[in-house]
């Protein structure tokens, strides 16, 4: 049995994440999805709570019958990146391989003796910054996230929240 | 769809927890299992890491095909119990009802407007303190936890760890 | 009896705050003034300590015989805005209504079930950023804060401190 | 003008505190009342939130027309007692003298160059531990706190809360 | 070149520590002395600040010309013992071997792949608890710490401080 | 005996620091070198761990036989600059004078009653920002740090790390 791990902030969970996860689960039996910066919410870079992000991810995984193969684990930030890998290990069940395209994450996990692989997705240019901007400006963004996530974001009034956050942060 | 929530430290996950969870899942469709004191480990009251506790719980739930109905979410302690409910809400998907036999947990959730129900289990006298003592002293404890958890605890050398922790804390 | 609450950083306490508070106290019997970011000081955005800000506010309120109607309560920042309202509630006596023009603060308090009202002041364009800049550059700023606050800021050598902070932060 | 400072946890605010404060305000013009351990609540040693404690203190002070002479300031604990005085100074308006009967508090403030005086009260044997026990056991405790505080404690169901806390902590 | 590491709280630095360090420096070229619980002071178990403990250690090492072979590094506590080794590694220059008689410290460092050796000292029954009690009660304790440390403890009035701390903690 | 103190982040330790330290040790007998922001690492402004920075400093000092005159002490950041001096005092042996060219550091130490002197170095325009940029871009930087530090930075692959950090932070 092989267990993989990925790390993301999932602000929000989008089609790039979804695609990559489906690909990893072709190679691995189980996947740990670390929801990073779990102690941040209602900020421009981190509008959604950990609970909301876990909800988004699970909605999308359940549609694809992938939920039962995954652990979704919120982990708060640590200042010292040098101890971050050790925090991840403390919060997660044992894992065999890390998938990431981030060079620092790669260095940190490799230094600690873990195997690291590249994450493959056809949707490289989909990212959270772009989606949060589109939600804010009213541009079309529904193709950028799984349909079920789109519905969820509308239900929790994501556009209204992001707009309030941005207005607040500009004032300060 | 009805989603329930329980809170525990699961040091370790035992048959009392297991029994109660099976009962709750007769009444609720989904269950959030909050792994409390997630930032404590290798201490007499909290010997296991959050990751190890998540592993124990999931092993036991998978045996009973209950894993896909559950969210297992580690939440660190907060000093101010008055804001603890709000932290739980921030880290978890939405939930409808809380099961607990703890009077303070009941008060805190009810004050915040949530429905609280009694947790029912035939194994009321099984608790973590008793099991940790039994593991330490070499007494028979295998009946007190699900079989798969027993095997896991042996694999991670629980007895050796608890003994080292106790020796350290006695010295200080 | 009706008790209102406002939140600010009061860096420094200025005529816009003062005007708004006088207006609120025409509608409410008592007012809680939350001094936010109380754990920040000697930084460009937060030059004054919580103690200094409490001193400024009370000097100005005492002049107007409003001090005895107010609670001035320092509250440190929390990362998770989702639990911030609950922290405010934990640190303050009970209150009935929140006055704010900040859309995020409005959303957060309303979500938690509290009444929120608009803050009215004729001095909308007076703000902390502008005043800190004026203090730094030597521009005229005395009209922007209550007279007693101006005297206090001179006594604690605000200009010298802000200048030292800015020089330090530019170097880093 | 002379400003004094006292520190307490006020769990709850009792007649010993009240008596001492009235005495200090015969010698000093203003008094800062630091509500210590402000980040603790719903625990056996610290059952009440900072907000509730501020409410108790202000109810009692208002009855005696002393509220307008006081600042009531919550300050969270710091691990390092060596920097605690400096935290108090950062959170409070300037003060001239500290009243305390606690030898460590005396040492810490004197080391930092402040004048320290003895606190005088005829009610030396009234303390929080005794009152919390009396509330829990149903013994007579109404004489031990100012009448207005007694009414407040009944309103917030102090006995019920303390009992729930104690039951919870005994289980752990 | 071989670099060793030991961990202690050094409350205070005593002859047992001193003896062990001299022995280690017969086997290793350099030694890192981690001053643990560096963020605790003025408490019964941790009366001295990190700075005072560093001073004690260096006074004793300088007498023996060992100071230039040592790094003395304060490290604050972490709740999660599972990430503590990683915090030590982040705060210290690289090291080859850990000396400890504590079974948990041994387990934690070995799990992380480091060599662990037994610490040898003829003074096994000298410990901090005993010395703090002797200082408090006025019993003879001068033989239990290096002479230079004894003089230092008298200079900073250790007996007076410990007595004040104990009186405070008993009241709470 | 006179003991001086300086504060820096030493990201990395460079020739400007080295020059200044040699000059201070002509006036003072001993020097405390506070390694600030010790809890930050693997970030663009703070790429190196506290341990790595202590290693760099000690390598350079040992070459000049200055190591035995110095204490190298990591101190984590505090939000409240108003209590930062008190944290420094708690973590360091007693000192008589602070050397700094930073106006805020000067103000904070002087307010607390300490003597502050200007730091003299012929290498004023050597700074960490410039060196980190040079390391990243492959420009010549070897003259900007002591030779032994240059070798150390190459050994720990500083260029590779800084490049990975920058790539990560740009994505977020």
Higher confidence at residue B169 or residue C114?
C114
Query: How many CB contacts within 8 angstroms connect chain A with chain F?
Result: 34
CATH number at residue B22: 3.40.50.620
**Contact check, Cβ <8 Å, A90/B51:** yes
Give the chain E residue whose CA is nearest to the CA of F93: E51
How far is C88 from chain B, CA to nearest CA, in Å?
9
C-alpha–C-alpha distance, residues D139 and D135, integer Å? 6
Q: So what's the pLDDT on residue E172?
A: 64
Report the residue from F41, F43, F168 with minimal CB separation from A102.
Answer: F168
Decide if F101 contacts C171 (C-beta within 8 A).
no
Interface test with F, best of E13, E49, E59, E74 (most F CBs within 10 A): E74
Read off the pLDDT of residues C115-126 as tens digits, 9 standing for 90 and up.
999 998 888 788
Rounded Cα–Cα distance for residues B156 and E119 (Å): 27
pTM for the whole structure: 0.95
How many residue contacts between A and C have a Cβ separation below 8 Å? Answer: 34
Rounded CA separation A33/A53 (Å): 11
Element (DSSP H or E) covering residue E145: none
How far is residue E100's CA from residue E108's CA, in Å, rounded to a whole number? 11
What is the residue-averaged pLDDT of chain C? 94
- Under the banding of pLDDT at 50, 70 and 90, the label for residue B15 is very high
Paired with F6 in beta bridges are F33
Mean pLDDT of D99-103: 94
Please state whether at least 3 CB pairs lie below 8 Å between chains D and C. Answer: yes
Range of the domain at E36: 3-171
Number of CB atoms found within 10 A of residue B171's CB: 13
The answer to whether chain A touches chain D by having 3 or more C-beta pairs less than 8 angstroms apart is: no
Nearest CA in chain A to F170: A102
Tokens representing B128 are 């973590």
Per-residue pLDDT reduced to its tens digit, B96-116:
999 999 999 999 999 999 999
**What angle do the packed helices C128-137 and C158-171 form, to 10 degrees?**
100
Q: How confident is the model at residue D118 (pLDDT cuts 50, 70, 90)?
A: very high
Name the helix (H) or strand (E) containing E5: strand E3-8
- Cβ of A167 within 8 Å of Cβ of C102? The answer is yes
Q: What confidence tens digit (pLDDT) does each residue in A59-86 have?
A: 999 999 999 999 999 999 988 888 999 9
Domain count for chain A, please give it.
Answer: 1
Closest residue of chain F to A103, computed from CA coordinates? F164
F171 and chain A in contact, CB less than 8 A = yes
Q: Which of B82, B107, B127 sits opposite D164 (nearest CB)?
A: B107
* Crossing angle of helices F50-63 and F147-155, rounded to 10°: 150
Where helices occur in D28-80 by DSSP H, the ranges are 50-63
- Computed over every residue of chain F, the mean pLDDT equals 94
Contacts of B1 (CB under 8 A, 6+ apart): B29, B30
Residue D120 pLDDT > 90: no
Q: Chain F residues with CB inside 8 Å of E67's CB?
A: 68
CB B146 within 8 A of CB B18: yes
Instruction: Note whether F85 contacts D86, CB cutoff 8 Å.
Output: yes
Q: How confident is the model at residue E141, as a pLDDT?
A: 87
The predicted structure's pLDDT at residue C172: 64
CA of E1, closest CA in chain B: separation in Å?
31
What is the average pLDDT across C130-156?
A: 93
Distance from the E58 Cα atom to the nearest Cα atom in chain F, whole angstroms: 9
User: In which band, very low, low, confident or very high, does the pLDDT at F172 lie, cut at 50, 70 and 90?
Assistant: low
Distance from the Cα of E26 to chain A's closest Cα (Å) equals 31
Q: Find which of B36, B40, B77, B82 to mutate to test the D interface (most D CBs within 10 Å of its CB).
A: B82
Q: Is the peptide bond before D56 cis (omega within 30 degrees of 0)?
A: no
Long-range contacts, B139-148 (Cβ 8 Å, 24+): B143/B15, B144/B14, B144/B15, B145/B12, B145/B13, B145/B14, B145/B15, B146/B13, B146/B14, B146/B15, B146/B18, B146/B59, B146/B60, B146/B63, B148/B59, B148/B60, B148/B63
Chain F interface includes A108 (CB < 8 A): yes
Interface probe, candidates C76, C79, C83, C111, chain B, greatest B C-beta count within 10 A = C83
C-chain CB neighbours of D54 within 8 Å are 71, 73, 91-93
Count the residues in chain A: 172
Start-to-end CA distance of chain A, whole Å, equals 51
pLDDT digits (tens, 9 = 90+) for A112-158: 999 999 998 888 789 999 999 999 998 888 789 999 999 999 999 99
Query: Which pLDDT does position A172 carry in this prediction?
Result: 64
> Using the beta-carbon criterion (under 8 Å), do B55 and A94 form an inter-chain contact?
yes
Instruction: Name the residue of chain A whose CA is nearest to B50's CA.
Output: A91
User: Which tokens belong to C157?
Assistant: 């050598």
Q: Check CB contact of B41 with chain A, cutoff 8 Å.
A: yes
Average pLDDT over residues F53-81: 95
Number of Cβ within a 10 Å radius of residue E62: 13
Residue E125 touches chain B, beta carbons under 8 Å: no
């Amino acid at each position: 049995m092989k267990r993989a791990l990925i790390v993301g902030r999932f602000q929000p969970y989008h089609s790039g994440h979804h695609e990559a996860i489906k690909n990893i689960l072709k190679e691995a039996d189980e996947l740990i999805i670390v929801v990073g910066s779990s102690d941040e919410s209602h900020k421009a870079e981190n509008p959604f709570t950990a609970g909301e992000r876990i909800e988004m991810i699970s909605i999308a995984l359940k549609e694809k019958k992938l939920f039962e193969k995954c652990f979704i684990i919120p982990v708060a930030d640590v200042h010292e990146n040098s101890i971050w890998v050790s925090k991840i290990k403390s919060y997660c069940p044992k894992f065999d391989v890390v998938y990431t395209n981030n060079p620092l994450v790669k260095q940190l996990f490799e230094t600690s003796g873990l195997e690291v692989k590249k994450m493959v997705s056809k949707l490289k240019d989909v990212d959270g910054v772009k989606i949060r901007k589109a939600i804010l400006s009213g541009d079309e963004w529904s193709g950028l996230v799984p349909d079920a996530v789109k519905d969820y974001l509308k239900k929790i009034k994501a556009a209204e929240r992001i707009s309030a956050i941005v207005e607040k942060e500009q004032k300060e």
